[in-house]
Every structure is written in structure tokens, then in C-alpha cells.
A and B are shown apart, each in its own frame.
Chain A
């Protein structure tokens, strides 16, 4: 099979000024086969995006490409092309779809203009021809009513539609190679499904090659023909999709495949990278049945949150973020909350943690209603309900040392005795979440994302709460780090009989963590019940759609389709 693109021994480093030179790629080689899809898979820092950006040379100015590197396409080395020659290729022969469609589209131009511009520039069409062609392309990527939508501005479209427009722009000139850099990461799971199906259809129809970059192995299994697994600027393993998913050779690939929670597997702990790179310590236990019927810690009754939005000088619009939510949390249990963006799941969590004013309804904590309590009483209650946020880079004050971050809650609530007592407690918790004592005097920026999330967990739990709201607590983390954090949360839950309200858009993760769960859509709870039941037998059509949209990974159907 001929290759559309050959990347040979690509070495890229970044000149970081005073901080020296940072090496991003240490000699990466792969071929993108003709009319096929090659997937680059890896975690953050693996160099997958740098590889893709080097192909169309869209790297930042401080990037240094090794002169011995080669990127061959049709017998031409793309790295040796002049800027003007390259410009002819970009957008015509090689096109790119980026992660965030909103920031990739020009907000002050209609989508029709933006697509027609590409057609006139590269194919030399007249404005009239370009306009007709634009309509055809929009129709092809599934924009409803293209005749009218051609005049729409980007903000008038939903995230999924914006990404369709980006894809329309990318395929308008019939490119030989489409580079898709995490094209669905910013989208909801149901929209992701539609975009993936569109990409697969277009790739097949236009006989183009696709370079698909993703961190999600499940997704890759569904659309790639060849897979390259990368880690820390090196290729760990490459091969056909079947080989990678059925007979992975590399320990890292095996670990990546295993540490993602799967719907059909019920582990008590997730395997982590360490287990594979260091097989001696590997231990997997089957999921123990949960002890049902712990005491009720908190009851939420008819909770609602309205936002009033100014739409004019005097006109107001009320948005119901959460409508009438009721549930109760039991000691030692996890209640999973799933839903797509805008479903109100985070609002619910913030209300439970008393971080948002409740519009209607009641939260009853240990028999006491929180309604009409004084600020001082609410502050005392805060000890019992804690929250772990999504982004550990934002939730830790960059000006505080880790020691101060951990000791502050104790100081506020008058716990832990004196200064030395508090420090002792802080050290104890650092050890419990797997960090050394030297962390105490460091600042958050000196830690990786996973370590920061451990600090955030320690801060929440140092007050010995009974209820912890986990608001997308692992969504910003890499797959392998996610697994270790999820394991830590499970261990801590067991040790302290914590009740978790586990909020996530990631159905696999919620399945792994939850005993009970609720499904939310636009502020409503559409389905509730035991997690295992909902996953095996969803009742509400929306739940069914959600579950149907999850990337399946490597399946027998996919194998049959490829054969």
C-alpha cells in the first residue's frame, strides 16, 4: 500500500529561552497510508499534536525542527518547502480540523463567506460558483437547511454544527490528507458520535487519508485502520488497529487499554500504568458487592436553581438550570450524576456544597434543614460537605504553599490544635494521598496535574467531611492519571465511609464509581436507579441515546467490518 504521507525521524524541540531547550519529539516515524485513517494516540505531553502541527508547519515560532527530519508527501519533503509553496498545500492538499471549533471560526464573518473564501483561493472559482459549491458542501456535512444557514454567523450554531462547518471547510477542496486534532474532545458524547460517523463517511466517500489524533482509545478503535501509540515524544507501538487492540505488545499500550474503566467490567480497583510497567505488583480484585443501606446523610428535596438573565433594558428571561431535583445520599455510597453540558449537574453539586444560593427546595443535612440558617451556622456545616473541583490547575491558590492550603481549613474551623498540630495533620494527609513531606513547602505550580488533584483531595478531606461532591474531578486528567485518582477516591471512601456525589459527563467513569445514579437533561432528572441496572437496562430514551453514544472500543462488529 502506498503512503500519502511519510514522517521520517521527526525531531522537534522548543527553545524556551532562559529555561533552555525542551525536546518534544525524539525521532518519530510513521506512514499515513493512502485512503486510510491513521490514529495517533497518547496522553498529554506525548507529542501527538506537535507531530500533526509539524506536517502543516503550524508550530509556534520557538520550535526547532531537526534538519535531518523528513516529512515526505508525493515525493516532496514538506519541511524543505518555502512558505509560499506550503501555503498552496495548506487548505487544499492538507487540511486540519482543530479541537475547539468556536475559536477556529472567525466570529464576524458568516460561515458561507469563510468556506467560499477557501474555494476561491485554492480552486480559483468565481464567487457565484464558490457560493453554489459552499451550499453543496454544507449539505454534505449535514447542516440542516444549508440555503439559509449559509448566512449564519458561528455563534448562531451549536458546538456540533460549528465543528461540521470546520469539517466542511477542510473537505471543500477535496484534500488528500485531513488532519483531525482531537476534533471531538470539546463536544458532548452524543454529538461526538455524530461527528465521528460524519468523518468516517467522508473519509470513505472522498477517498482521502485521515490522520486522527486522540487520547481516547475507545474512539480510535471505531474509526482507525492503523494506530500509532505515542508517549513522551516517542512511538511506543504501531500497527493495524486489530493488532493494537487484540494483541498489544508494548506494556504501555496494554496499560492504556486496561486502565480505562469499561462498562462491561466491574473491578474494585482500576489497573494503573505501574501495574503493567512493573508486573510484579499487579493485583486486580473483582468488585465487592456494596453494603447497601447506610444511614441517610443528606436529603435533597425539590431543589431548583433559576438564573435571571437581562435581555433588554427592562425585559428579563428566567433560565431554569435545575428543576425540582430530589435525592438522598447514604453513608459510604456513591451517587453518580451524568448528563451533557448544560444539564445542570454542576449547578446541583454547587448547591449541595452551599456554594450557590438555592432558588427553591430544601437540603436537609443530618436532620437539620439548611434553609434560613445564619451564615455562621452554614459555615459550621461546611465541614461536613466538601467539594473537589474539575481543574486542579484552577482550584489551588497559586500564591499559597501546599502547607498553607492544607492548614487553612483547620485554622478556620479551629481544628488540629496549634501550629505544629496542624502541620502534623497536613503531613499525615499528604502521605495518605501519596505525596511526600517535602511537598509541604512547595507551591502548586511545582506539581503535575495528578499531584495537584491529590492536594485538592487532601484539602477537602482534611476537615473530615461526611459528604464529598466530586464535580468532574478526573475529567481534566490523562487516562492513566485518572485511574490512580479514581482508585485513591475509592480507597478513601472505604476508609472514612464517605458519601460521594460523583458528577461527570464520562459514563464509563461514573459506572466505575457509582452505586446509585441519576441521569440529567436540561435541568431535569430523567432517570434514576441502581447504576448497574441503568447501564444494563436503560429505560428513558435519552439514557439509551447516551449509552449508545459511548465509544465501544474494539468490538466484534468492527472486526467484521474491517475484514
Chain B
């Protein structure tokens, strides 16, 4: 009889239950769909399937979106250029004898004179780059930065918080001291200091990659909040009976820390992770605006927003709209998704 039972292991395992509960949450599923779309976008951009030629100057400077239509003065400018070309001044041109020579030389080189578009799907920027392409490429950088920085910060915060809260005593005191030091320095000042070290200090070569330094700066600054919450949870849980019971059967410190307690505080960690993804995407905007963010040859939602500052004064709104729309949709969807995930993971099932 028991064999029948055993052959059906984990029929209602925790993860199966989590999936079941998550599926019944309509908002969570919708959010998951949106987040999934963004991840497909990020992966495609990473492999260069989309957004790879975002740097091509395909349109007129500040080309409006299709829906708006071409600017009235563009056509007029083209016509005046055309009439100018008809004027023949070779008689008095001192350079005239050389033209043939130059033409022969240039014959070996092909020049494609690209026709600049008057309008682009979502408009163009200052030098006529497609805003839609930029937003897609920017999504890749921003989401990658936000996600990896949040993951790193959560990892640092969770491990330190778990160790401090669980062991207490001198270990906890030392970590609390570290936390206080990090918290005592003003946020932006600390970012400046770290950016200076990573960009021009001895570590500059290690972090030459454009987004790596942003990720490291954000995670080194951002772990403190997670640490504090996880530490509090561990202090609460370390004296719970189930942890005592684990000790009584001989479970090691490591097992109690990460096998017994961690799954029971994972909802706190997850919520913090989601909040930090959102926060770090925003922080990357600030960093890029201050010139400490991703390098100049890259695009992110942050650099797009900082560009659109001056554009808005000229009445050019499409770059601003593209970046904020993408950001708002992703951030909202991600927050709703983790919210639903937290509910699904909650151990206090009735």
C-alpha cells in the first residue's frame, strides 16, 4: 500500500501549490505576461535581434512621430538646397582644375547618401536616431542594471542580515557598525565617492565595462535596507520552536540559517527585491543624469530622460514619452508581479 503512495511523490509539493495559487491571481498573471514580454525584449536586444542599430541616424534631427507628420519647414529647406545646386560657378572657382583629380580618387570609394526620413515611428532625437530603437536598447540596459544590482544588493543584504540576526552578539555588533557607517554617509555623496574610485581609481580597468560599475555602485549602496529587515526577521525566527526543534535533531548552523529559516522569510526578501529593482532603475536615471551612469556610447532610459530635459523646452516630447511609458509599464508590472508572488509564497495558508 505504501508503495502506491510513495510512487506519487510531492503531488502537492509547495511549488505546485505556489503555481496553483499564482495562476488563480488574474492581476498577477497579467503582470507576469507584461514582465515576460520585457524579458523577451531584453534577451532579443542582448543577442542583437532588435535595437542593435539604434545609433544609425536614420531621420531628420528631431523627426516627429508618424502620427504627427513631417515638420512644415523640412520640405522648404530641401527645395532651397536643390536650387542652390543648379548654380554653376566653375569659371571663377580656383579649385576647378582639381575636381577631376578628386573625383577619380573618390571613384574607388562608394558613398551611399542615405535619405533621411522626415518622420519616424516614434520620432527621432537630436541627431535623428530612432527613439523607438533607443527605447528598446535602453530597456535592455536599464532592466539589466536594475535587476543585477537588485539581485546583488539582496544577496549582500540577506546574507549579512541572516548572519547578524541569527548569531547576534559580537558578529551582529560588527555588522551593525558597518551598516551604520554606510547609512551615515549621504546617499549621493557615497555614490560620488564610489564612482570616483571605480571610474578613475586603481580599479578603473576592472570596471571598464559600462554597466558593471553602475551595478556595483548601486548594490554597494543599496543593501542596507534589506539587511535591516532580514536581520529583524532572523531575530524573530531564531528562537522559534521549529528552529529549536531543528537544533534538537542536530541540524547545523548553516542548515538552520538557510534551509530552515530562509524559506520562511523569503517573502520579505522577495518584496525587497522587487522594490529595489524598481528603485535601482530610477537610481540609474539619476546616475546617468549626473554623468556617473552608463558610458556615453550606451543608451538607457536614464540617458534618454536626461536628453529629453532640453528637448522638452523646444516642445519635443516623444523621447520623454517613450522612456517614461516603457519605464512606468515595466515598473508597475514588475511590482504587481512580485506582489502576487509574495501572496502565493506566503506560508500562512489558511
The reply to whether the CB of A442 lies closer than 8 angstroms to some CB of chain B is: yes
User: How far is A401 from B8 in the complex, measured between Cα atoms in Å?
Assistant: 14
Tell whether A355 pairs with B2 under 8 Å between CB atoms, given A396-B242, A397-B260: no
| A441 sits at the interface (CB 8 A) | yes
Indicate if the CB atoms of A409 and B264 lie closer than 8 Å.
Answer: no
0/1 interface trace, chain B 245-284, chain A, CB 8 Å (1 if under) = 1111111100100001001100000000000000000000
Q: Which residues in window 4-20 of B have CB below 8 A to A?
A: 5-6, 8-14
Contact for B349 among A391, A395, A412, A445, CB less than 8 A: A445
Chain A residues within an 8 Å CB radius of B244? 350, 355, 387, 389, 395
Evaluate contact between A437 and B242: CB separation under 8 angstroms: no
B69 at the interface (CB under 8 A from A): no
If A382-B250, A399-B263, A401-B10 touch, whether A440 touches B245 (CB-CB below 8 Å) is no
B48 at the interface (CB under 8 A from A): no
- From B247, B347, B349, give the contact of A355 (CB < 8 A): B247
Cβ contacts under 8 Å, A387 to chain B: 244-245, 248
Determine if B105 is an interface residue (Cβ-Cβ < 8 Å): no
Q: Which of A436-456 contact B (CB under 8 A)?
A: 437-438, 440-443, 445, 456
A437 to B260, CA, bound (A): 24
C-alpha gap A442/B13 in the complex (Å)? 8
**Nearest B residue to A383 by beta-carbon distance?**
B250
> Any chain B CB within 8 A of the CB of A435?
no
Name the residue in B5, B242, B264 with the highest tally of chain A Cβ atoms < 10 Å from its Cβ. Answer: B242
Q: B245 contacts A463, CB within 8 Å?
A: no
Complex CA–CA separation, A460 to B250 (angstroms): 11
- Chain A residues, Cβ within 8 Å of B1: 437
Q: Is B240 an interface residue (CB 8 A)?
A: yes
Query: Does A201 have its Cβ within 8 Å of any Cβ on chain B?
Result: no
Say whether, besides A441-B13, A443-B14, A397 and B242 are in contact (CB < 8 Å).
yes
Nearest-neighbor residue (CB-CB) of B262 within chain A: A399
* Any A CB within 8 A of the CB of B73: no
- B85 interfacial contact with A, CB 8 Å: no
Bound form: Cα–Cα A504–B75 in Å: 94
Taking a contact as CB atoms under 8 Å apart, the answer to whether A463 and B249 are in contact is yes
Are A413 and B250 neighbours in the complex by a CB distance under 8 Å? yes
Separation in Å of the A410 CB from the closest CB of chain B?
A: 9
Q: Is the CB of B5 within 8 A of A355?
A: no
On chain B, the residues within 8 Å of A353 by CB distance are: 248
- Check B205 for interface membership: any CB of A closer than 8 A: no
Q: Is A408 touching B12 in the complex (CB atoms < 8 A)?
A: no
Contact B241 A459 (CB under 8 A): no
B350 within 8 A of A: yes
**Is the pair A456, B250 in contact by a Cβ cutoff of 8 Å?**
no
Chain B residues whose C-beta falls within 8 Å of the C-beta of A456 in the assembled complex? 245
Chain A neighbourhood of B9, CB < 8 A: 441
Q: Which residues of B contact A420 (CB under 8 A)?
A: 6
- Contact yes or no, B250 A389, CB < 8 A: no
A350, A383, A386, A443: most-surrounded residue (chain B CB, <10 A): A443
Residues A394 and B250 in contact in the complex (CB < 8 Å), given A423-B6, A443-B14, A445-B349: no
How many residues in B have their beta carbons less than 8 Å from beta carbons of A? 31
Which residues from chain B contact A394 at a C-beta distance below 8 Å? 240-242
Asked if residues B241 and A395 are in contact (CB atoms below 8 Å), the reply is: yes
In the assembled complex, the Cα of A504 lies from the Cα of B260 at a distance in Å of 28
Q: Which residues of B contact A459 (CB under 8 A)?
A: 245, 249
A316 within 8 A of B: no
- In B78-107, which residues have CB < 8 Å from any A CB? none
Cβ–Cβ contact A409 & B240, under 8 A:
no
**Which residues of A are found within 8 Å of B245, using beta-carbon distances?**
387, 389, 395-396, 456, 459
Given A382-B248, A391-B241, check contact A437 B5 (CB 8 Å): yes
How many CB-defined contacts (below 8 Å) exist between A and B?
91
A residues contacting the other copy or chain, number (CB 8 A): 42
- Are B248 and A355 touching (Cβ within 8 A)? yes
User: Which of chain A's residues have a CB closer than 8 A to the CB of B255?
Assistant: 412
Cα A413 to Cα B349 in complex, Å, equals 31
Q: Name the A residues within 8 Å of B249 (CB-CB).
A: 382, 386, 408-409, 412-413, 459, 463
**Cα–Cα distance between A387 and B13 once the two chains are bound (Å):** 28
Kindly list chain B residues whose C-beta atoms are within 8 Å of the C-beta of A409.
249-250
Whole-angstrom CA separation of A379 from B6 in the bound complex: 30
A108 contacts B by Cβ under 8 Å: no
Q: Which residues of chain A in 387-426 are interfacial with respect to chain B, using CB atoms and an 8 Å cutoff?
A: 387, 389-391, 394-399, 401, 408-409, 412-413, 420, 423-424
Report the bound CA distance from A190 to B269 in whole Å. 45
Partner of A397, one of B11, B12, B246: B246
Q: Is the CB of B13 within 8 A of A398?
A: no
A308 at the interface (CB under 8 A from B): no
Which chain B residue lies CB-closest to A390?
B241
Indicate if A19 sits at the interface (CB-CB under 8 A): yes
A residues 355-390 in Cβ contact with B at 8 Å? 355, 379-380, 382-383, 385-387, 389-390
Q: Chain B: which residue is nearest A445 at the CB level? A: B349
Nearest A-chain residue to B4, judged by Cβ: A437
Question: Chain A residues with Cβ under 8 A from B349's Cβ?
Answer: 443, 445
A441 with B250: CB separation less than 8 A: no
Min Cβ gap A276→B in Å is: 31
Chain A, range 477-516, C-beta contacts under 8 Å to B: none
18 further A-B pairs in the complex, CB-CB below 8 A; given A350-B244, A382-B250, A413-B250 = A16-B350, A19-B350, A382-B248, A390-B241, A395-B241, A397-B263, A398-B347, A398-B348, A399-B14, A399-B347, A408-B249, A409-B250, A412-B250, A413-B249, A424-B2, A427-B5, A445-B349, A459-B245
Nearest first, the 9 closest Cβ-Cβ pairs linking A and B are A409-B249, A395-B241, A399-B263, A398-B347, A394-B241, A389-B241, A382-B250, A379-B250, A397-B242
Give 29 A-B contacts (CB < 8 Å), ordered by A residue: A19-B350, A350-B244, A353-B248, A355-B244, A379-B250, A380-B250, A382-B248, A382-B249, A383-B250, A386-B249, A389-B245, A391-B241, A396-B242, A397-B260, A398-B242, A399-B14, A399-B264, A401-B10, A401-B13, A409-B249, A409-B250, A412-B250, A412-B251, A413-B249, A427-B6, A441-B12, A441-B13, A445-B349, A460-B248
